[in-house]
Amino acid sequence: MVRLVSVCASLTDDELALLESLAHPTQFAAGATLFTQGREAHSVYNVTAGVVRLYKLLSDGRRQVVGFALPGDFLGLAMRDAYGFSADAIGEVSACAFSRGAYTALVDAKPHLLKRLHEFATHELTLAHEQMMLLGRRTAEEKLICFLLGMQQRWARLGKPSVTVPLPMTRQDIADFLGLTIETVSRTFTRLAREKTILIVPGGVRVMNPERMSAVAA
């Protein structure tokens, strides 16, 4: 299923076999680092299982979560010489690592792959823009609802449409992503649950009132 939403969907079977010959399947334990902000961008990663936390360390030492990568997402495509953010595993993560040199050579030889890669690189660059929209002039409730609906839509694109939204990240991760305190995020979750807008379940939430949530997010 990941292939359907990934760069690989644009390849023939022969081209996919070539891409797979360049891949180095890698496993990351929970909390392990895929790459670090400011370090040489020597690899491109395709997440195949699990969820990855993407974050920047600010000059004052604070952490700003800039996104969460799901299966099918490529990381490192939009970078030049150095990674612009850090990435670590939320739970166990499987990924294919590609040498940037080998990957660049393949892209140069396959113009249609270059087009597809550009789409994924653009997606990386729009993560920060989407986050800025979330951090704009919205209330805490609006931010959290937009986040929940966004995650629900992303899982649906992976072939997992459901009223239950998996949330493997911590409340602190969500707070750092939305620019809120963890206390505010926890209170907002509790209030939405009390109002029966969501139901908090192990590992995520269940959307109970999608009409209200869509109206709030509009």
Instruction: Write a three-state SS string for 122-150.
Output: HHHHHHHHHHHHHCCCCCHHHHHHHHHHH
Mean pLDDT of 103-127: 66
**What percentage of the chain has pLDDT greater than the value 90?**
47
Q: Tally the residues of the chain.
A: 218
**Average predicted confidence (pLDDT) for the chain:** 85
For domain 138-217, the CATH class is: mainly alpha
The full set of domain ranges for the chain reads: 5-133, 138-217
Distance (Å, rounded) from C-alpha 76 to C-alpha 104? 12
Per-residue pLDDT tens digits for 58-91? 888 888 998 899 988 888 876 568 898 999 999 9
Per-residue pLDDT tens digits for 155-210? 998 888 899 999 999 999 999 999 899 999 999 999 999 999 999 999 999 999 99
**Residue 3 has what pLDDT?**
47
Give SS3 for 70: coil
Domains 5-133 and 138-217 equal at CATH topology level: no
- Its pTM stands at 0.85
For domain 5-133, the CATH class is: mainly beta
* Side chain identity, residue 215: A
